[in-house]
Structure 1
Amino acid sequence: MTAQTVDHVSLLPLYAAAGTAVLVLLADLLFASRAAIFGALTSGGIATAAGAIVVGGSRVGTFCAASSCSWVPSPLAMVAAVVFAGLTVGVLGLSVPSLRLGTAPAGEFCFLLACSMTGGVVVGYAGDLITLIVGVETLTLPLYLLVGLRRFVPGEKVSTASASASVTFFLISVISTAIALLGAALNYAATGALHLDRLVDGVGPFAPVANAGVALLVIGLAFKVAAVPLHAWAPATYEGAPLPVAAYLSTASKLGGVLALAAIVARVDAAALTGVLAVLTMTVGNLVALRQTRMVRLLAWSSIAQAGYILAALALGGAGVAAAAAYSVFFVVLELIAFGVVVALRPPGADGGSLLAYRGAGRRSPWLGAALVLAFAGLAGLPPGLAGLFAKVTVVDALIDNGHGWLAGVVALNAVIGLAYYVRVSALLYTKPEAPGISVVDPALLEAATHPRLPVSRAVGFVLAAASLVAVALGFAPQLLFDALS
């Protein structure tokens, strides 16, 4: 038996991410100060991103036996670790106003967020099925608690929405995890392959067992990206979760699912199943989004449709991983900006509200309105959201180059359907109120408009606007990222 080799430098991103969780616990225990806790999580996120950049994408893997490794640095893993760290710090920034009001215990909230970040890092660097599934579950498990983690302030009307969303998310996730584990077990029993670089399609008398294992593995992991028909949990969970947690679910959780699926479909033939999931997901997501009247539910169905575009690229197998990864990175950035604007427009601790509540919001808050319009333009693939436009072009180009013109046509058709709700909400932001003196319909948004904002909320608004402008200016970035990951 060959002894395993361990390269501790390759593990720097993992050490930094896991150390962040420990540091947050110590800050909560020793100082019991929100400032210390926030500082610990922020510094840990920065350290995780720095560690990933230091390791780079060409270093030799670790936990290796023979020629296969369980921890594999790569350009995609490096980008994923940086994005997960950035999302964690960004969601913390969105959560600060509500945490200051005591809607959730800061120590527990930040600890769970750091644990989820650690799972995301593990998914990016995973080199075998066990590490991959453990990483996915480490990413997901803290989110069950974050969705329902809410401390009601005195005088607030008690709602069970968060608890219901948490239970729904937990039950469906457990079932999907069981399906994925069964698929991994069947494939291992048929092929004896555990490391991802040894995964092969079924051959010989055990081929049906191996193929069934691959199908179950893809279906189980498709839950993480809310692919149809495993999508029903997403709108209800996003709506019931605190807004910053919904933002993290829509971005980090989806990115983890994409990475896990990419690791599988790049090595085995699951093109037919992934293609069917892609068509169903983008079509159902866009059609149902047309009928939404609440902001968070619209963003939830929009994210389901966006997952369909990513799955379309993954239907190419290994040839589409780079395009899917490039699209995913820019999707999560634009989605975080959209959720961030919603958080900034709403009072701390409030839900997303109805779409009518945002009528005229762009007139009252020009910077935030511009940031949301630019984020929607990017998600729709319209100028001036050039980053989103070129991300879609990258996917369509990859599909055409690999002989999947019909799927490229479905992507283009669904992109046109998606324009309807993105344009409708964008126009609503600048629509005049129905009656003089009435600027909002939702009382919560009226309170936010007539009371001074917390300095943090105002700062977040300016940061989001600046980030949107940068995203517009860097329209060529998706192609550069695609080239780097190819």
Structure 2
Amino acid sequence: MPQFNLADILALAPVILLVLGGMVLLMLEVFQESDKRGYQAWFTVVTSVLAGIAAIPMITSEAFPILRTATRGAFAVSDPFAGVIAVIVCVGLAISSLVAAAFLQARRAERGEFYALAMFGASGMILLAQSTDLLSIFIGIEIMSVATYALAAYMRRGTRPAEAAFKYFILGAFSSAIYLYGAALVYGASGGKTSLADLARVGDLSVLMGAGLALVAAGFLFKVAAAPFHMWAPDVYEGSPTPVTAFMAVGVKAAAFAALLRVLTVGFGSASQAGTIGVGWGEVIAVLAVITMLVGNLLAVPQRSVKRLLAYSSIAHAGYLLVGVAAAQDPAARAAASAGILYYLAAYTFTGVGAFAVVAALERLEGEGPMSWDLDRFAGVAKSHPGLALAMAIFMLSLAGIPPTAGFVGKLWIFKAAIDAKLYGLAIFGVLTSVIGVYYYLRVVVYLYMREPEPSVGVAPATRPNMAIALAVAAVGTVLLGVLPGLIGETVRASALALGGG
């Protein structure tokens, strides 16, 4: 069993705070006597901020192992890399909680269990980013996944949410089984090792070890919706409550990419030169990145549902992040690639949550059918709700990678890392697919500003204050990270070095 001491508890402070916050909300819900639950969203925001502050010591201190055992080593680590991911997750949780407050209040569906599940899911995401053992990684995946399965089914009105939750649960359980089987193969091929530090000493990949690594990676690739494991994302993103979709798109992606990068670079970094199986993990990830960028962007082009368009967009952005993972196969470019991934995740947190927040604000209260998110719903919003239109335009430009937004800087860092790793073709392909993205992102902007408004478009009065704050934070973050990349630039570089990229 792991041995706990004060250092371990302090290193797990973000996780502990979020779990305690979720438990407090559940207890308060039991004794709730009135219908006024506006405090719950703000309680979640405050808890998220406190958890993010508790993660700062991880960013500013040296890495050290936690949850140590006498025979198996450490199950997790406190290092700047995990600290940055924890802050990213907490920011995403705070903004999406404000969006959820506006969304759920307008539908009279606000309950404490919603925010409790969100905090439990966020705790699993942070634990996943800290884990350094295949077993603790699996525990983090399950804590994160079970919470998001329940959140996807939270709105039980109609068949679409039920269908989304069912698909997510079945395919999610399938991906967890694949990961666990891959971990078992790695355990057998390595002579009983599951710690990433121990696996790093194994050396070149054997056939059995390579098969195990492939299955482990497949489990992560499902979570980030990378092709060909992306088939669940459009339906689940569209059928889930929009604030849940926002949180899933950024939080799950950040945690899963952090764990995937740690597994590949720390556990199998020395095995990147193929070994006995004839191909290294870097080459495989590069191929998957090409497929994911192509599938995500091409399938987004014909979409008229903006929510479904953003789902395919999320797939495309997983492809861009995979470019960074592929670049990390080269030890000389590993630090730059890891820093680029961290910056991209930070930028996508503000941009992704913000874009889904606008969708939630304009979503019809009386139904959640496909027409609720049709492009016509966004026509002329600049005249009826200029603030919403401006925010959505900022988010669309950032997703397209147009300066001076955070998305541009994120892609610049990712593609530069690919060039440093001499993956010139992959970088060029990423730029070309980004051009495809410009078309469908700017089409949304065209509808916002250059189409006649739909007469029924409106935002429920109860949704405005919380939604306005969430959109303002997301928009300001998107612009600031684009105009002043140095705000977090040195932090993510140092965190990447702490991962082992130096």
The two structures share one fold, judged by TM-score above 0.5? yes
**Alpha-carbon distance between aligned partners in 1 of 2:283 and 2:174, rounded to the nearest angstrom:** 23
**Alpha-carbon distance between aligned partners in 1 of 2:366 and 2:247, rounded to the nearest angstrom:** 16
Q: Which runs of 5+ in 2 are unaligned?
A: 273-280, 497-502
Amino acid across the alignment from 2:193: A
Quick check: 2:156–2:162 contact (8 Å CA) kept in 1?
no
Amino acid across the alignment from 2:494: A
| Residue of structure 2 in register with 1:305 after alignment | 316
2:126 paired with 1:121: yes
Secondary structure, in 3 states, of the residue corresponding to 1:127? Answer: coil
Aligned partner of 1:74 among 75, 79, 88: 79
**Alpha-carbon distance between aligned partners in 1 of 2:74 and 2:460, rounded to the nearest angstrom:** 58
Aligned partner of 1:279 among 277, 290, 295: 290
Quick check: 2:225–2:233 contact (8 Å CA) kept in 1?
yes
Quick check: 2:88–2:346 contact (8 Å CA) kept in 1?
yes
Aligned partner of 1:53 among 52, 56, 78: 56
Deviation, structure 1 residue 91: 1.1
2:442 paired with 1:423: yes
Quick check: 1:242–1:349 contact (8 Å CA) kept in 2?
no
Which shows bigger deviation, 68-77 or 227-236?
68-77
Secondary structure, in 3 states, of the residue corresponding to 1:315? Answer: helix
Which shows bigger deviation, 274-283 or 471-480?
471-480
**Alpha-carbon distance between aligned partners in 1 of 2:63 and 2:462, rounded to the nearest angstrom:** 51
Aligned partner of 2:493 among 474, 483, 486: 483
Deviation, structure 1 residue 94: 0.4
Deviation, structure 1 residue 408: 0.9
Residues 103 and 173 (structure 1 numbering): CA distance in 2 closer, same or farther, change over 3 Å? Answer: farther
| Residue of structure 1 in register with 2:114 after alignment | 109
Which shows bigger deviation, 110-119 or 356-365?
356-365
Amino acid across the alignment from 1:440: E
**Alpha-carbon distance between aligned partners in 2 of 1:100 and 1:54, rounded to the nearest angstrom:** 36
Residues 87 and 162 (structure 1 numbering): CA distance in 2 closer, same or farther, change over 3 Å? Answer: same
| Residue of structure 1 in register with 2:45 after alignment | 42
**Alpha-carbon distance between aligned partners in 1 of 2:255 and 2:341, rounded to the nearest angstrom:** 12
Secondary structure, in 3 states, of the residue corresponding to 2:303? Answer: coil
Q: Percent identity over the alignment?
A: 29
Which shows bigger deviation, 178-187 or 80-89?
80-89
| Residue of structure 2 in register with 1:156 after alignment | none
Higher relative contact order (CA 8 A, sep 6+): 2
Residues 133-282 of structure 1 correspond to what in structure 2 (within 5 A)?
Answer: 133-150=138-155, 152=157, 159-191=158-190, 192-200=192-200, 207-266=206-265, 267-268=267-268, 269=272, 270-282=281-293
Amino acid across the alignment from 2:484: L
Secondary structure, in 3 states, of the residue corresponding to 2:404? Answer: coil
Secondary structure, in 3 states, of the residue corresponding to 1:430? Answer: helix
Residues 318-333 of structure 1 correspond to what in structure 2 (within 5 A)?
Answer: 319=334, 320-333=337-350
Residues 323-402 of structure 1 correspond to what in structure 2 (within 5 A)?
Answer: 323-347=340-364, 351=368, 352-385=372-405, 387-402=406-421
Residues 447 and 331 (structure 1 numbering): CA distance in 2 closer, same or farther, change over 3 Å? Answer: closer
Give the TM-score normalised by the residue count of structure 1: 0.90
Q: How many pairs align? A: 468
Q: Deviations over 1:20-65 (max 9, x none)?
A: 1212112212345514433432222122112111344425222224
| Residue of structure 1 in register with 2:328 after alignment | 317
Secondary structure, in 3 states, of the residue corresponding to 2:11? Answer: coil
- The two structures, once aligned, show a CA RMSD in angstroms of 2.4
Which shows bigger deviation, 50-59 or 191-200?
50-59
**Alpha-carbon distance between aligned partners in 2 of 1:173 and 1:420, rounded to the nearest angstrom:** 32
Which shows bigger deviation, 452-461 or 69-78?
452-461
Quick check: 1:367–1:465 contact (8 Å CA) kept in 2?
no
**Alpha-carbon distance between aligned partners in 2 of 1:477 and 1:92, rounded to the nearest angstrom:** 25
| Residue of structure 1 in register with 2:499 after alignment | none
**Alpha-carbon distance between aligned partners in 1 of 2:430 and 2:289, rounded to the nearest angstrom:** 9
Q: Deviations over 1:245-267 (max 9, x none)?
A: 11111111111221121122113
Amino acid across the alignment from 2:132: G
| Residue of structure 2 in register with 1:436 after alignment | none
Quick check: 1:12–1:55 contact (8 Å CA) kept in 2?
no
**Alpha-carbon distance between aligned partners in 2 of 1:478 and 1:304, rounded to the nearest angstrom:** 25
Deviation, structure 1 residue 300: 0.4
Quick check: 1:338–1:376 contact (8 Å CA) kept in 2?
yes
Quick check: 2:321–2:341 contact (8 Å CA) kept in 1?
yes
Residues 64 and 457 (structure 1 numbering): CA distance in 2 closer, same or farther, change over 3 Å? Answer: closer
Secondary structure, in 3 states, of the residue corresponding to 2:75? Answer: strand
**Alpha-carbon distance between aligned partners in 2 of 1:310 and 1:450, rounded to the nearest angstrom:** 36
**Alpha-carbon distance between aligned partners in 1 of 2:136 and 2:424, rounded to the nearest angstrom:** 35
**Alpha-carbon distance between aligned partners in 1 of 2:2 and 2:51, rounded to the nearest angstrom:** 29
Quick check: 1:239–1:297 contact (8 Å CA) kept in 2?
yes
**Alpha-carbon distance between aligned partners in 1 of 2:363 and 2:41, rounded to the nearest angstrom:** 22
Amino acid across the alignment from 1:372: M
Residues 481 and 290 (structure 1 numbering): CA distance in 2 closer, same or farther, change over 3 Å? Answer: farther
Amino acid across the alignment from 1:430: Y
Amino acid across the alignment from 2:19: A
Residues 424 and 65 (structure 1 numbering): CA distance in 2 closer, same or farther, change over 3 Å? Answer: same
Q: Deviations over 1:290-320 (max 9, x none)?
A: 1111000100001100000001110133613
Amino acid across the alignment from 1:22: M
Quick check: 2:225–2:318 contact (8 Å CA) kept in 1?
yes
Amino acid across the alignment from 2:419: I
**Alpha-carbon distance between aligned partners in 2 of 1:185 and 1:38, rounded to the nearest angstrom:** 41
